[in-house]
Amino acid sequence: MPKNTTNPKFTISINVPTRLSSDGTYLVAASTEEPNSHERIKFYRIDQLSSSAQPTFLAGVRVNLPESALAVNGHLFVADTGFNRVLVWDSISDAVAGKAPDVVLGEEDLQNTVAEIGVDKLFMPSTMSFDESYLWVGEFKFSGRVLRFNPS
């Protein structure tokens, strides 16, 4: 473990990061307040990290104030807070390639973005955790719920 007198091997600069996550292949950064909306989810390949590493960005789907992006076992979960949904890709590489999400939790499709409190609905999802059995989603405002989703 580094000591407080140990200099880092390198640093990377991420504009207003909200949360970081890694599955060992990718480092994924959510930048909720990134001014360039198409750059709010950033991907870095772990094997290419350096002080000059440049991210790739989530393409193919528009997100609104994403509070977190969770990389787990090659899967990607994005809490698309402003659009009241969680986007799920079976493969992070599909998200990096600009493919549509495999699952949209909280909404019927990518066009519906209305906040609702109810079964199969989300109201400003924010924080997520995956415990190998369930995806847990905490909502940010107004409802205060923690929801559990079965990945099957």
Task: Kindly report, residue by residue over 59-109, the tens digit of the pLDDT.
Answer: 999 999 999 999 999 999 999 999 999 999 999 999 999 999 999 999 999
Instruction: Give the mean pLDDT of the chain.
Output: 93
Q: Please give the pLDDT value at position 82.
A: 95
pLDDT band at 144 (very low <50, low <70, confident <90, very high): confident
The answer to the question of residue 148 being in a domain is yes
Number of domains in the chain: 1
Q: Find where tokens 């709010």 sit.
A: 40
The answer to the question of residue 10 being in a domain is no
Q: Output the pTM of the full model.
A: 0.93
The answer to the question of residue 29 being in a domain is no
* Alpha-carbon dihedral 58, 28, 14, 67, rounded to 10 degrees: 80
Q: Please give the pLDDT value at position 85.
A: 97
**Which token pair is 4?**
């407080």
- Angstrom CA distances, 133 to 51, 102, 148, 151, stand at 36, 18, 10, 7
Could you tell me which residue, 42 or 2, shows the higher pLDDT?
Answer: 42
The answer to the question of residue 18 being in a domain is no
Q: Please give the pLDDT value at position 135.
A: 96
pLDDT band at 147 (very low <50, low <70, confident <90, very high): very high
The answer to the question of residue 70 being in a domain is yes
Q: Please give the pLDDT value at position 2.
A: 76
Structural domain boundaries, residue 128: 61-152
Whole-angstrom distance, CA of residue 57 vs CA of residue 69: 12
Q: Residue 124 is part of a domain; what is its CATH number?
A: 2.40.10
The answer to the question of residue 78 being in a domain is yes
Nearest to 96 by CA among 141, 57, 66, 136: 57
The answer to the question of residue 129 being in a domain is yes
User: Looking at the predicted structure, is the pLDDT value of residue 3 above 90?
Assistant: no
* Parallel/antiparallel/unpaired status of strands 135-139 and 146-149: antiparallel
Start-to-end Cα distance in the chain: 38
Helix (H, G, I), strand (E, B) or coil at 47: helix
Percent with pLDDT over 70 in the chain? 100
Q: Find where tokens 């493969």 sit.
A: 91
The answer to the question of residue 3 being in a domain is no
Q: Please give the pLDDT value at position 119.
A: 84
Whole-angstrom distance, CA of residue 20 vs CA of residue 28: 6
